[in-house]
Amino acid sequence: MMDRAQLADFLRRRRDALRPGDVGLTSGPRRRTEGLRREEVAALCGMSVDYLARLEQQRGPQPSDQMLAAIARGLRLTQDERDHLFQLAGRNAPQRAQRAQHVNPGMMRVLDRLYDTPAQVVTGLGEVLVQNQTATALLGDASQFTGKQRSLIYRWFTDVDTRRIYPPEDHEVHSRAFAADLRTVVSREGNASRAAAIVRELREVSPEFERVWDAHEVGLIRSDLKRIVHPELGVLELHCQMLFDFDQSQALLVFTATPGSESYEKLQLLSVIGEQRLNP
């Protein structure tokens, strides 16, 4: 059963414990509270202020699993705190496979500080868990995908449009890298995992995947320099830095360009494009 009183108390305390700087916000001189305002948390969680107010006042409806996951992400909860949130709401705590979809709070704090640099958190299957505004402008909105389509690796071998992000002459190296990455996830999670199911399906539907998979390449050494094709700006040569969490199940990808280069100038334009799309 949903424990309304404890859920309300937990939400209020977690909101009070966060500081604006923890989520990439600035503290204005007129701020009267040390924690976050309701409207700030509501925006982070993708919910209405009224909905959050009702939960904090013990009169809201039982949140769905999707809403609880959004609240956990918005409040920067750890996995233990996320499990506690689900239990207070009368929901089953996420299983291990679902918990892997929860963004590491440390990575979220880093992502919050990257305002004009494309950055996103991904799983080993290439599923985007969260991306900042500039990453959306560079790579497209990953939130549109559901099911197996959430995996970039799966889409790479099944959807021609996905490949337009890289120049054709770079496709082979990306195919080999994706297959090697997928093999690493299968080795870590086992033959009963979602990764293994994706392998089995891709071997059925993609001759190219079967070819690169059968090459049995593991841990390919690759350059951090990536050429990305943007529909409005053309080709950008970007360095992709990766920060992994403690169990290597998630990575924070940060895209930068060499200062003074043409790609650097394009990256500056990209932040403007992202802002215009967010505020048309």
Q: Which domains, from first to last, does the chain contain?
A: 4-99 (1.10.260.40), 105-278 (3.30.450.180)
Q: What gap in Å lies between CA 23 and CA 37, rounded to an integer?
A: 12
pLDDT of residue 77: 87
Q: E strand or H helix at 17, and its extent? A: helix 4-17
**Helix, strand or coil, per DSSP, at residue 173:** helix
pLDDT values of the chain reduced to their tens digit, one per residue, 280 residues? 889 999 999 999 899 888 888 887 777 666 666 788 899 999 989 899 999 999 999 998 999 988 998 899 889 888 778 888 998 999 887 665 455 677 878 888 889 888 789 999 999 899 999 999 899 999 999 988 988 999 999 999 999 999 999 999 999 999 999 999 999 888 888 888 889 999 999 999 999 999 999 999 887 777 889 999 999 899 999 999 999 887 677 899 999 999 999 999 999 988 777 665 544 4
pLDDT of residue 18: 87
Phi, psi of 241, rounded to the nearest 5 degrees: -95, 140
**Helix, strand or coil, per DSSP, at residue 244:** strand
Amino acid letter, 129: L
Determine if the pTM surpasses 0.75: no
pLDDT of residue 97: 46
Beta carbons of 164 and 156 less than 8 angstroms apart? no
Helices (H), 47-78: 49-56, 65-74
Beta carbons of 194 and 153 less than 8 angstroms apart? no
